Amino acid sequence: MTISTAPRRVPFSRRAADLESAPISWLMAQALEVPGLLSLAAGFVDQETLPAAEMVEIAAAVLGDEKSGRDALQYGTTAGDPELRRVLLDRLASDRSPIWSQVGIEDVVLTSGSQQLLYLLAEVLLEDGDIVLVEDPSYFVFMAALESLSTRLVGVECDADGVRPEALDRCLEELHRRGDLGRVKLVYLMTYFQNPTGASLSAERGPRVLQVMRDWQERGLEALVLEDAAYRDLCFPGEAEVPPLFEGQDANETVCYAGSFSKSLAPGLRLGYGIVPTELAETLVRLKSHHDFGTGNLSQQLVLKALQTGMIDSHVEKMRRRYLGKCELLFEVLRAELGDAIELEMPRGGLYLWGRLPEGLDTGLQSRVFARALEEKVLYVPGEICCVNEASPDDPTCRSMRLCYGYPPDEELAEAGRRLARAIASVV
Stretch of 96-104, 198-206, 226-234, 343-351 contacting a copy of itself, by CB under 8 A: 96-104
Site membership for a copy of itself, residue 316 (CB under 8 A): no
Residue 167 CA to residue 328 CA, distance in Å, equals: 31
Site membership for a copy of itself, residue 33 (CB under 8 A): no
The residue type of 64 is G
> Hey, which residues does 343 pair with through a beta bridge?
356
254 or 400, CB closer to a copy of itself? 254
255 or 344, CB closer to a copy of itself? 255
CA angle 43–332–202, rounded 5-degree value:
60
Binds a copy of itself (CB under 8 A): choice among 76, 137, 244, 259: 76
Residue 109 CA to residue 279 CA, distance in Å, equals: 12
Site membership for a copy of itself, residue 172 (CB under 8 A): no
Residue 261 CA to residue 58 CA, distance in Å, equals: 15
Maximum Cα interatomic distance, the chain, rounded to a whole number of Å: 68
Residue 189 CA to residue 199 CA, distance in Å, equals: 11
112 or 400, CB closer to a copy of itself? 112
DSSP string spanning 37-76? -EESSS-PPPSTT--HHHHHHHHHHHHHSHHHHHHHHS--
Q: Is 66 left (phi over 0), alpha (psi -120 to 50) or beta?
A: alpha
Stretch of 52-60, 195-203, 339-347, 392-400 contacting a copy of itself, by CB under 8 A: 52-60
Stretch of 157-165, 202-210, 230-238, 274-282 contacting a copy of itself, by CB under 8 A: 274-282
How many chain residues touch a copy of itself (CB under 8 A)? 101
Site membership for a copy of itself, residue 19 (CB under 8 A): yes
Which 8-state DSSP code applies to residue 270?
A: -
Binds a copy of itself (CB under 8 A): choice among 152, 291, 377, 422: 291
Site membership for a copy of itself, residue 296 (CB under 8 A): yes
Binds a copy of itself (CB under 8 A): choice among 22, 374, 425, 428: 22
Binds a copy of itself (CB under 8 A): choice among 94, 289, 314, 426: 289
Which H or E run includes 15?
A: helix 14-17
Site membership for a copy of itself, residue 45 (CB under 8 A): yes
> Hey, which residues does 108 pair with through a beta bridge?
275
Site membership for a copy of itself, residue 298 (CB under 8 A): yes
Site membership for a copy of itself, residue 279 (CB under 8 A): yes
Stretch of 248-256, 304-312, 340-348, 352-360 contacting a copy of itself, by CB under 8 A: 248-256
- Which residues from 331-390 bind a copy of itself, rule CB under 8 A? none
> Hey, which residues does 59 pair with through a beta bridge?
none
- Which residues from 181-210 bind a copy of itself, rule CB under 8 A? 185
Residue 228 CA to residue 43 CA, distance in Å, equals: 16
Site membership for a copy of itself, residue 241 (CB under 8 A): no
The distance of Cα 182 from the centroid of its chain, to the nearest Å, equals 27
Q: Cβ 222 to a copy of itself, closest distance in Å? A: 4
123 or 395, CB closer to a copy of itself? 123
Site membership for a copy of itself, residue 74 (CB under 8 A): yes
Q: Do you find a cis peptide bond into 23, omega within 30 degrees of 0?
A: no
Site membership for a copy of itself, residue 253 (CB under 8 A): yes
125 near 359, Cβ under 8 Å? no
Binds a copy of itself (CB under 8 A): choice among 30, 34, 87, 148: 148
Binds a copy of itself (CB under 8 A): choice among 270, 320, 356, 419: 270
Collapse the DSSP code of 336 into the 3-class scheme (helix H, G, I; strand E, B; otherwise coil) and give the result. helix
Stretch of 45-53, 155-163, 235-243, 372-380 contacting a copy of itself, by CB under 8 A: 45-53
Q: Which of 349, 277, 335, 267 is nearest to 55 (CA)?
A: 267
Binds a copy of itself (CB under 8 A): choice among 201, 234, 245, 266: 266
Stretch of 82-90, 298-306, 316-324, 332-340 contacting a copy of itself, by CB under 8 A: 298-306
Which 8-state DSSP code applies to residue 343?
A: E
28 CB burial (10 A radius; 0-12, 13-18, 19+): middle
Q: Do you find a cis peptide bond into 396, omega within 30 degrees of 0?
A: no
Site membership for a copy of itself, residue 89 (CB under 8 A): no
72 or 229, CB closer to a copy of itself? 72
* Torsions phi, psi for 110 (to 5 deg): -90, 140
